[in-house]
Amino acid sequence: MQLMTPDSLVMLNSCLDHATEDTLFISGGTDMILKFREEGFGTSQVIDLSGLSELKYITETENEVCIGALTTLSTLVYSDVLKAHAPMLSCAADQVGSTQIRNAATIGGNVANSFAGADLIPPLFALNAQVDTLGKKGVKRSIPVRDFVTGNRKNMLEAGEVICQVRFEKKRGAQFFGKIGSRSRVTISKLNMASFVQVENGKIMSAEVAFGALGASAFLSEGAQTCLVGQSVNEIDFDKLSAALIQQVDDAIPTRKSRIYKRDAVVSLADGLLKSVRSECEV
């Protein structure tokens, strides 16, 4: 194994130029060390990104929130910027693994790993976030996260390309993240859901509802959107919303044994979504 340890973006550029199809990247290590344990290190080339302090930040501009790829999940949990503009992302980060895992794992790693049950991806879908990358010869790309993730552990990253930043527009709206696992904490999602609902004068104008751990990759629920948009908040029918989400489960995993469990589980997420929308209207 060959380990490269760039401690600046200038050094990273040079490392990326030497990267091949087989080059692996490590930051927090909470996914990669498991992979190494299972598959061995072999003769792989590994680039350790953990020293890139230039990519550890949460900043806000007039219109956007920008999060450096090396920002840890613990930093997301305690960020005042996220509490103000993306509470569902803080909430999702807070429910990943244990304190030790959150202190090491990074937002860039969670997105780049593109695991079907990843907890940060549905909130980023609901926020319509952009993924900014850096590749060979300094080439930069900006890809909507909804296009970036293409399957379970599959995404649009090319050889020698890394995520530098995730960013999203600041918009007012009701936010909710809910997760169901086999226990209440330190658990991998069996089902998760993030929603971003914009309300004007008591009427729902937009509803971005994203599911995770329901098929190969996160996706936006058209059923939830159809059910919610145009409705008056006071008149949302919980049973109709639940039915729309259950239908989404049926459509996404029609033959899986877990479908029966997830049909029930999704109803509690519908409850959380609805409460977030009602509470937004009370503010």
Partner 1 sequence: MKLITEVNGKKYDVDISPNMRLIDFLREELGLTGTKEGCGEGECGACTIIIDGVAVNSCMMLAHQIRAKKVYTIESLETDGELDQLQKSFIAKGAVQCGFCTPGMLMSAKALLMRDPDPSGDEIKKALEGNLCRCTGYNKIIDAVQHAAEEIKGA
What is the number of residues in the chain? Answer: 283
Asked if 113 interacts with partner 1 (CB under 8 A), we say: no
For partner 1, the closer of residues 50 and 192 by Cβ is: 50
115-135 burial code (b ≥16 CB/10 A, e <16): bbbbbbbbbbbbbbbbbbbbb
Asked if 119 interacts with partner 1 (CB under 8 A), we say: no
Distance CA 162, CA 128 (A): 20
In the complex, minimum distance from the CB of residue 43 to partner 1, in angstroms, rounded to a whole number: 11
Beta bridge partners of 168: 65
For partner 1, the binding residue among 41, 147, 154, 275 (CB under 8 A) is 41
* DSSP alpha helix (H) spans, the chain: 9-17, 32-39, 73-78, 80-85, 87-94, 99-104, 107-113, 121-126, 145-148, 222-228, 238-252, 259-282
Distance CA 196, CA 129 (A): 12
For partner 1, the closer of residues 77 and 270 by Cβ is: 77
Stretch that binds partner 1, among 41-49, 148-156, 216-224, 252-260 (CB under 8 A): 41-49
For partner 1, the closer of residues 34 and 281 by Cβ is: 34
For partner 1, the closer of residues 103 and 268 by Cβ is: 103
In the complex, minimum distance from the CB of residue 47 to partner 1, in angstroms, rounded to a whole number: 11
Q: Which string of x and - marks every residue 64-83 that binds partner 1 (by CB under 8 A)?
A: ----------x---------
* 206 Cα distance to chain centroid: 20
Asked if 142 interacts with partner 1 (CB under 8 A), we say: no
For partner 1, the binding residue among 50, 71, 175, 231 (CB under 8 A) is 50
* 217 Cα distance to chain centroid: 11
Asked if 11 interacts with partner 1 (CB under 8 A), we say: no
Asked if 1 interacts with partner 1 (CB under 8 A), we say: yes
Q: Residue 243: how many CB atoms within 10 A of its CB?
A: 15
Distance CA 225, CA 119 (A): 21
On the 0-12 / 13-18 / 19+ scale of CB atoms within 10 A, 264 is: exposed
Asked if 37 interacts with partner 1 (CB under 8 A), we say: yes
Distance CA 168, CA 127 (A): 6
Beta bridge partners of 64: 169
Stretch that binds partner 1, among 92-100, 120-128, 152-160, 248-256 (CB under 8 A): 92-100
Asked if 99 interacts with partner 1 (CB under 8 A), we say: yes
- Which residue ranges make up the site for partner 1 (CB under 8 A)? 1-3, 5, 7, 26, 28-30, 33-34, 36-37, 41, 46, 48, 50-51, 74, 97-101, 103-104, 185-186
